[in-house]
Structure 1
């Protein structure tokens, strides 16, 4: 297997040269790409069987009006196997490219169709990517909705727990208040009973003192 990079000079832009290169690549089962450069040259990257690559490089040296190749510079590079097909990398302004070629009378009808087909394929690919992105966005939104629902459920549980906790604290507060009141009552009862005992004890002491006094006086 071989991987080559080629730069083609001459009358090779706006004359259907890339379409010819693509047809040759298809016939020889070669993968890669071809594109126009701003300096007027055409750049090609190709991978395939060694014999097919050699034949391909020979056949792209086209000198048939309106195409005229002046020079083909080839560099052999490391084979990667990273291509599955051979494609034309179109200029950004496809309408301008197509109109220029038609006005110069250098593109056949089938070449026009091929350009339009390429535009259609590129558009379809873009739409597929957009659909894929929209599907991913929908999936993300669904996940976000699910997360929000879970968050709402957690918040509800937290609210419920807070209410239960508040009720527990309120019950404890009520219980403490009742205990405090009972303690006050017990203290009051105890104080009253204690004072009663003191009064009785004082009364008894007074009586004893009076009895002792009388006994002393009598003696």
Structure 2
């Protein structure tokens, strides 16, 4: 659970612009967190800046109305890899109006390059993790397809067996029918012969 420490300035009037100083703690350096903060600040039309604070924190100074700042704090309270905000110290002061826009205060070139490499590595790790999950899902899907294929093959075999049995039954019925027809034909012939004999005897 993320902890907040709010210190509000005396005389802070609702609806008026205020300044907020935020110290974000956790996994917030070398993970692209300052870029997230900048986008959120621009979205909420805040002015100010964000910078790394040695050794591990990020410092945010911004000005705007209370509602926008509250929404801004919600937007930057992240707990999603690679950014993990564990704690925030939030201090409100009177706005000075000194900022024209919101910006990222960059460090030296070596520091910034190292952060870019760390960000790339974190994103690559995240992508590999997602690919691993996708592969696992594909394996499960393949197993289901194989199971369904096995079920279909079993059904096909059972159907073929039933058709063979039905064919044998029909053949047997045909043989029986032919035998019965032959028997009836013989009996009819015998009856005809007897009738002929009777007719001859009567005549």
The question of a shared fold, defined as TM-score above 0.5 by the shorter chain, is answered with: yes
- TM-score band by shorter chain is 0.5 to 0.7
Partner of 1:144: 145
TM (normalized to structure 2)?
0.56
What's the secondary structure of 1:43's corresponding residue?
helix
Which consecutive unaligned segments of at least 5 residues does structure 2 have?
5-20, 52-59, 85-105
TM (normalized to structure 1)?
0.52
C-alpha displacement at 1:61, in angstroms? 7.1
Q: CA offsets per residue over residues 51-106 of structure 1, 9 Å max, x none?
A: xxxxxx9x9577xxxxxx99733513396997326849xxxxxxxxxxxxxxxx95
Structure with bigger RCO (C-alpha 8 Å, 6+ apart):
2
Q: CA offsets per residue over residues 184-216 of structure 1, 9 Å max, x none?
A: 0000001101111121122xxxxxxxxxxxxxx
C-alpha displacement at 1:156, in angstroms? 0.7
Write 1 or 2 for the structure with the bigger share of strand.
Answer: 2
Partner of 1:175: 176
Alpha carbons of structure 1 residues 193 and 156: separation in structure 2 relative to 1, 3 Å: same
Compute the RMSD of aligned alpha carbons.
4.2
- Rg larger for: 1
What's the secondary structure of 1:115's corresponding residue?
helix
Q: CA offsets per residue over residues 102-137 of structure 1, 9 Å max, x none?
A: xxx952534432321121111000011011101111
Q: CA offsets per residue over residues 139-177 of structure 1, 9 Å max, x none?
A: 111110111111011001101111110111111011111
Structure 1 outlier segments of 4+, above 6 Å = none
Write 1 or 2 for the structure with the bigger share of helix.
Answer: 1
Q: Distance in 2 between matches of 1:84 and 1:147?
A: 41
1:43 paired with 2:42, answer: no
Which consecutive unaligned segments of at least 5 residues does structure 1 have?
3-20, 46-56, 63-68, 89-104, 203-219
Question: Matches of residues 191-210 of structure 1 in structure 2 within 5 Å?
Answer: 191-202=192-203
1:73 paired with 2:69, answer: no
